A and B are shown apart, each in its own frame.
Chain A
Amino acid sequence: MRRRSRSTGMMERYTSDGGLTLTSMMDILTTLLFFVLKSYVSGGEVTVPPPGVTLPRSTVNADMHTSVVVAIDHDGIMMDGERVATVEEAIATDELMIAPLAKRLAVARALMDNLAERKGEKHTVTRLATIQGDAGIEFRVLQKVMYTLDRNGFPDIALAVLKKA
């Protein structure tokens, strides 16, 4: 009788109401959530190359800054996600300046100057441009884009690359 009462007590102690024990799973999911959220904020400026652009690989370790982005794929030259000229147009002439890109850069520069003026920034605004070029493009296209950027008020140029593992 005494033994029975002890076993009955143990049964009562371990009997649950049928609900799932989710605490350990919650721990895992919470850790995963923090990990994913951290991967968003650890890299500073986050950018995704446009579809069709495979960035070259490099060992460099400098982070990207907010800037005007010019992307070059095998067919065209894009600025801020919008196609402004084709590669054929760019290489058709001997001139280093790409006129449609220059026009877009002038607009962007005017906007940046206007914004700086409204903010009351008296010092010269640093104009940085980032080139997201496909690894397979020819240097002459890159050369013309860089020249156009330099001559249109964007002398600081950054070349976007993928970090080598």
Chain B
Amino acid sequence: MRRRKQRKELVNTDLKLMPLMNIIIALIPMLLLSAVFLEVKVIETSLPRDADASAAAVAAEPATPPLDLAVHVRGDVYVIEGHGVAPLLVPRRSASAPDSAATQLLSQALRAIAASHPGTSEVRIVAESRTRYQEVIALMDVARGAGLVNAALEGAGDAAPSDVAPAAAEGM
């Protein structure tokens, strides 16, 4: 009799996992549905500062004129310009983003300029009014890859493709 009583008191020590399983099975699809798998990053940029402020800065440091490097997006060419840098033309074949050949040429040219002007990290991307946003971002990527991490955006208006004057006076 005593032995039978002891048998009845045995307790099942297995964990009851089913309720926890139910919660987790409901939780995982919910989290997966609301998860964002696209990584959104940001490019920090600014508008070019006023010409007066730049002039004041130049007056304060009269040693050498600033490089004022700019990449212009024109009809069928990209033009790289800067003080003391011979204008360089790179063919622009695609209107949505620079093709691989153009990217390579732009990258090489900007790297060479950055290497010959140590400490330079600024570049202006001067785009036409109808230039696509993706192309502007691609140019900023090329400049960043060449070490020019501070890219400012500037509008060129609807200037003629042959007009090589920078459009800093556009207000941006």
Residues of B within 8 A of A22 (CB): 17-18, 21
Given A19-B14, A26-B20, A162-B38: A142 in contact with B133 (beta carbons within 8 A): yes
Q: Which of B55-63, B78-86, B140-148 contacts A (4 or more CB under 8 A)?
A: B140-148
**Chain A contact residues, majority secondary structure:** mixed
Q: Complex: how many Å from CA A56 to CA B25?
A: 36
Inter-chain contacts of B140 with A (CB < 8 A): 58
* Size category, B interface: 35 or more
Closest to A37 in B: B31
Is B90 part of the contact surface with A, judged by Cβ < 8 Å? no
Count, chain A residues at interface, CB 8 A = 54
Interface string of A1-41 (1 = CB under 8 A from B): 00000000000000001010011011001101100110110
Q: Which residue of B lies closest to A45 (CB)?
A: B40
Instruction: Say yes or no: B39 contacts A43, CB within 8 Å.
Output: yes
Closest to A165 in B: B39
Q: Does A85 contact B (CB under 8 A)?
A: no
List 19 contacting pairs A-B, 8 Å CB cutoff, sorted by A.
A22-B18, A25-B21, A26-B21, A29-B25, A33-B27, A36-B31, A58-B137, A59-B144, A62-B43, A62-B44, A137-B133, A138-B133, A139-B128, A146-B172, A147-B47, A159-B137, A160-B40, A160-B42, A163-B40
Q: Which residues of A contact B (CB under 8 A)?
A: 17, 19, 22-23, 25-26, 29-30, 32-33, 36-37, 39-40, 43, 46-49, 55-65, 96, 130, 133-140, 142-143, 146-147, 150, 155-163
